[in-house]
Amino acid sequence: MIAILDYGVGNLRSVYKAFETVATPLAMPVDIVERPTDLTRWRAIVLPGQGAFGDSIHNLRRQGFERPLLDAVETGMPLLGICVGMQMLFDSSEEMGQHEGLHLIPGAVRRFADSMPDPTHPGHCLRVPQIGWNQLHVCKADPLLANVPSGVHAYFAHSYFCDASNADAVLAWTDYGIDYPSIVRYRNAWGIQPHPEKSHTVGLRILGNFMTMVAQSGVR
């Protein structure tokens, strides 16, 4: 039912193992898709990501995944982007030059400023990249966040954040010098900036919510 796209990025196996953990009680198969094909054979798509935006979007396009992915989403198929996979859902990124995204969620990916004051250490600035645990402040109800209380911690590792053009697309935000969107949804495309596979219980709950939503709704 779930297709995880393998387009040559890191952390694919850890994402697969996390999905496999939450899939077992639902008896839902999880496939790793290594070459472009008709993705409507599945019921949902997962776009993992790790590393630089430019390399990731280039690999996705070079391996021929972009068109099948966009075609499947156009039919209403649910899509979940993780970390850089979330960032690629946006229109563009300024990481190491300007790069065009998938244009599924309005907005751009921007770098954290180097001069953000650290409130816990006066006179110091927050480190970039942000690495470690931070809070998810839920601001909009959504099936992806069922039983995920506002204020829980998740694991982050990134230097760039998503600047959403549409505030209604933001499901949760995180404070790291600025308040930025950490979980988003626009129509049938969801994105999560922290690594759910490294976020223990809360990460598995979000992945489980995604799979339950797909299994129960049958929405395409």
Q: Spell out the long-range contacts of 105-108 with Cβ–Cβ below 8 A and sequence spacing 24 or more.
A: 105/162, 105/164, 105/166, 105/169, 105/184, 105/186, 105/189, 105/191, 106/164, 106/165, 106/166, 106/169, 106/186, 107/162, 107/163, 107/164, 107/165, 107/166, 107/169, 108/162, 108/163, 108/165
pLDDT at 217 over 80: no
Residue 219: which pLDDT band, with cuts at 50, 70 and 90? very low
Quick: pLDDT tens for 204-215: 999 999 999 898
Quick: pLDDT tens for 64-76: 999 999 999 999 9
Mean pLDDT of 80-85: 96
Quick: pLDDT tens for 113-137: 998 998 888 889 999 999 999 999 9
Task: Determine which one of 83, 95, 99, 162 is catalytic.
Answer: 83
- Reduced to 3 states (helix: H, G, I; strand: E, B; else coil), residue 77 is coil
- For the four alpha carbons of 187, 71, 15 and 132, in that order, the dihedral sign comes to negative
Task: Determine which one of 94, 137, 195, 200 is catalytic.
Answer: 195
Spatial separation of the C-alpha atoms in residues 194 and 102, rounded to whole Å: 20
Q: Report yes or no: 149 and 201 within 8 Å, Cβ to Cβ.
A: no
Catalytic, 83? Answer: yes
- For the four alpha carbons of 168, 68, 44 and 13, in that order, the dihedral sign comes to negative
**The domain spanning residue 28 has which CATH number?**
3.40.50.880
pTM listed for this prediction: 0.94
Query: What is the number of domains present in the chain?
Result: 1
Catalytic, 195? Answer: yes
Mean pLDDT of 6-23: 84
**Residues of the domain holding 76:** 2-113+121-217
What one-character-per-residue DSSP string does 137-191 give?
A: EE-S--GGGTT--TTEEEEEEESEEEEES-GGGEEEEEEESEEEEEEEEETTEEE
Catalytic, 162? Answer: no
Mean pLDDT of 139-161: 96
